[in-house]
Chains A and B, each alone.
Chain A
Amino acid sequence: MSLMDILELVLGIAMVVLGVVAVNAKKKITSVILLSALSMLAVVAFVIMRAPDVAITEAVIGSGLVTGLFVFTLFTKKNEGEDA
């Protein structure tokens, strides 16, 4: 088992753990941030799999734009009653 294999394994396990924790998180904002972190790890996985184009798109949309939009939406005033 080379160093790269171990790295990929750790990466995969971390992504699964982050996904499960994001689903079970109590606050919505925590879920959003955890999903952003998951996307960031997916970017590393894509780079390891030699797909830099997909990695850039994932980094921009998955962890940048969508997270920003979710955070922006969660912090508008209409959500006051819910657990933001």
Chain B
Amino acid sequence: MKQAVSIVLVLLLGAFIFTALYFADSSPLQFKPYGDADLSGRVSQGYVDKNVTADAASEEPAAVVYGETKNAETGSANIVTSVVVNYRSFDTLGEVTVLFVAALGVGLLLSGKRRRQEAAFQPSFILKHGVRIVLGIMVIFGVYLFTHGHLTPGGGFSGGSIIAAAVLLLYVSDNAFKAKVKAFKIAEGVAGSLYVVAGLLGLALGGYFLYNFLPTGVVGDLLSAGIVPIVYILIGLKVGSEISGVIAGFATEEEAL
């Protein structure tokens, strides 16, 4: 079954690449032979003509007013996020892939049947109960960071790392604690695939991979900036589960045979 699915996927991908390369006139992608594509006219002129703040109709760029400006180009109040998840979203996809490969390497090295490493210290009363108090706050703050990534500083990477730090605290405070590594793996895979699916949706609806196809709304609203918050939530879940999985790998050791 798995093999059949993978063969079908490979054939589909091959057919897609073949048609995009050899029937360029009819395909929406218009891959041209090497050297013929007018990239400077398409990309550079696009950036020169760009009017980030106002509608395309008005000539002068208008001032962005927090909570009032509508339909700005990216719609995210945090300019770093608008670069990371909108203009350069493909770079971020590569960055997430690098993290995935790193986690994969750790997973390959530290695989097999595993049990908890023995700690040299017993967690004290303050550590045990302090962690219980702090843990919820940490997870909520991590979720807040990546849901509000387009409004305030922070985003998917830092929010996910805070969640991973919460998992690390769980390991430190309890000598018998073992996280469900399988759940991490599922969350990681699903979030990563959904990021690519969001990119493909942009390709289908807007013509470019990872195109921001949703309405951007009012600058400063929680539900604004189109797919930026959605993508950042996916990145947050992916990074959080990935680093948690790495920590779980470090905190356990291989069972003696």
| A72, B120: Cβ atoms closer than 8 Å | no
How far is B172's CA from A68's CA once the two chains are assembled, in angstroms?
A: 9
Q: Is B165's CB under 8 angstroms from A64's CB?
A: yes
Contact of A56 with B168 in the complex, beta carbons under 8 Å: no
Main secondary structure of the interface of B (DSSP, over half): helix
Kindly list 8 other residue pairs between chains A and B, CB separation below 8 angstroms, not including A57-B154, A77-B119, A84-B120. Answer: A53-B78, A56-B158, A61-B161, A68-B165, A68-B168, A72-B251, A73-B250, A76-B117
Check A69–B153 contact: CB distance below 8 A: no
- Cβ of B199 within 8 Å of any chain A Cβ, yes or no, is no
Interface residues of A (CB under 8 A from B): 52-53, 55-57, 60-61, 64-65, 68-69, 71-73, 75-80, 84
Q: Does B171 contact A (CB under 8 A)?
A: yes
Given contacts A60-B161, A72-B168, A72-B172, contact A77 B155 (CB under 8 A): no
Cβ distance B102 to chain A, nearest Cβ, rounded Å: 14
A79 touches which one: B120, B145, B154, B172 (CB < 8 A)? B120
Given A60-B158, A65-B165, A72-B251, are A52 and B120 also a contact pair (CB < 8 Å)? Answer: no
Chain A neighbourhood of B165, CB < 8 A: 60, 64-65, 68
Query: What is the chain A residue whose CB lies nearest that of B172?
Result: A72
**14 A/B residue pairs, CB under 8 Å, sorted by A:** A52-B154, A53-B80, A53-B81, A53-B154, A53-B155, A56-B153, A56-B154, A57-B157, A61-B158, A65-B161, A68-B168, A69-B168, A72-B171, A76-B117
